[in-house]
Amino acid sequence: MFGFAWMTLRQAQEALRTGRLDEALRLLELPAVRNHRKVSSLLLDLGRVHVERGERHFQNEDAEAAWADLMAAEKLGTTVRAGDRLRQSLAALGVTEARAALQAGNLSGAEEVVTRLRQRNVHAPELGVLEEGLRDWLRARELAARGDFSLATEAASQAGRLLGVNVRLEGFRADLARHQATFPDLLMRLHDAGRREAWQAVVELSEQVLAAAPQHAEARALRNRAWRALEPVTAPHPGPDENGVPTETAPPRFFLWIDGVGGYLVCLGNRLTFGQALPGARVDVPIVADVSRLHATLARDAEGYVVEAVRPILVNGVAVTRALLQPGDRVTLGSSCQFQFLLPVPGSGSARLDLVSGHRLPTSVEGVLLMAETLVLGGSPQSHVVIPDRDKPLVLFRHRDGLGLRASATMLVNGMKCNGRTMLPPDASVSGDDISFAIESAT
């Protein structure tokens, strides 16, 4: 036993000398040597080497590696004093990064830096001030999104007192002041249009309200009422006939090509299949990737959108066989093919899938649109397809006679002038003053 302990200590010393610090720690924690009188001095040396290596990482501008070494040294509990200088340097660097993110208006980046510093037990007074200012700024933004500009202004002013001169914050406060002056009148006009059931005016006014306050509950509710009132009766989704025979062998699909924006595969079925893009493949969303012929399905029901695995899938990095998707969820098919699930328009059952892993469909498109009753094409982020500089949205809607278009301006459909609502042929070319798009059947 004595010989084994002696050999283990020699191996630990050699590992320490050659920089194999994880191996040195593993050897020093073996039961055979744990209580040996030399172990404490070797652990002290191990902590010192971690700190020295951390200082080199810091000088080479690799702060994450420096933190890893510092935390390893502190975990040993023997070199806290030796690491004080490194900790102070890293903390000061983190505070500087948080302040720079705030100066750039990058609140999520600042929040991430502050969270990491707190997890690493940094308690610098300046960090506390930045954290409180960030919290007030985030609260102001949340209040503004709901349309409470008075309280948002108070929170933003408090953030300004804590954060000092910040160009981005001052710009945000100026926007709050402008919205606070105009918002009450705009909201009153929206409510008046709702009482009169002037639904076209409600759509236009609610878009203006939501441009200023994207989470304003009343405006979102009124816009949804207006859309339902303006649309004709939508077509039921395909189902069996009176004899129980399916009316369609596969859900209909079409391509939507928008000049200056890109293309989308639009799927109308309640259930989609995903798989490898192979000749003769019978899947709704064929992907050029290392996935199975039939890899997963996505179904729209009363719950929402449910993904089910045929072959291994991950949702937000966790292996699942079935999951109800939430906006922002990332689904990984196989080892690396990943798409993000989005519900961009509040109150709409239509969803969007963006391939975020660099893979693609055989026909190059920006993403896949899962159309329930409507698709919104507009300049607002709350659109299924965002079209820059588009003031008033266009809405594609499903109808018992096929696909329809609602626009507030005159449009040309296959060269013919159309106003308001119109039905679209299976393959259509549509153009207006600031938009041009085409619909093409997907075989």
User: Could you tell me the residue range of the domain that residue 30 belongs to?
Assistant: 2-82
> Under a CB-based contact definition with an 8 Å cutoff, are residues 36 and 9 in contact?
yes
In a domain, 132, yes or no: no
DSSP class of residue 232? P
Compute CA 265 distance to the chain's CA centroid, rounded to the nearest angstrom.
21
Record the tokens describing residue 116, joined without a space.
């990491």
Task: Give the end of a domain, one of 40, 58, 82.
Answer: 82
Residue 425 lies in a domain: yes
**Predicted pLDDT at 172:** 93
Does some domain include residue 369? Answer: yes
- pLDDT of 281 reads 67
- Share the mean pLDDT of the chain: 85
User: Does residue 6 lie in a domain region?
Assistant: yes
Closest CA to 175 of 146, 138, 149: 149
**98 found inside a domain:** no
Cα–Cα distances in angstroms (integers) from residue 434 to residues 88, 172, 413, in the given order: 56, 30, 14
Q: Is pLDDT of 99 > 90?
A: yes
Overall domain count for the chain: 2
In a domain, 55, yes or no: yes
CATH number of the structural domain spanning residue 409: 2.60.200.20
Residue 62 is assigned to a structural domain of this protein? yes
* Maximum average pLDDT range among 97-111, 225-239, 408-422: 97-111
In a domain, 191, yes or no: no
Going by DSSP bridges, is the β-strand pair 394-399/374-378 parallel, antiparallel, or unpaired? antiparallel
First-to-last alpha carbon distance for the chain, in angstroms, is 75
Q: Are 337 and 345 in contact (CB under 8 A)?
A: no
Lowest mean pLDDT among 65-69, 227-231, 301-305, 360-364: 227-231
Q: Are 277 and 290 in contact (CB under 8 A)?
A: no
Which of 61, 82, 103 corresponds to the end of one domain?
Answer: 82
Confidence of residue 216 (pLDDT cuts 50, 70, 90): confident
Distance CA 329, CA 352 (A): 11
Answer whether 188's CB lies under 8 Å from 169's CB: no
Q: How much is the average pLDDT of 156-184? A: 94
Residue-wise pLDDT for 247-275, tens only, equals 433 348 899 999 888 889 999 988 889 99
Q: Which of 43, 63, 82 is the last residue of a domain?
A: 82
| CB-based contacts of 392, cutoff 8 Å, min separation 6 | 204, 207, 378, 407, 408, 409
pLDDT digits (tens, 9 = 90+) for 342-391: 999 887 889 999 998 888 888 878 899 999 889 999 888 889 999 887 87
Rounded CA gap, 214 and 210, in Å? 4
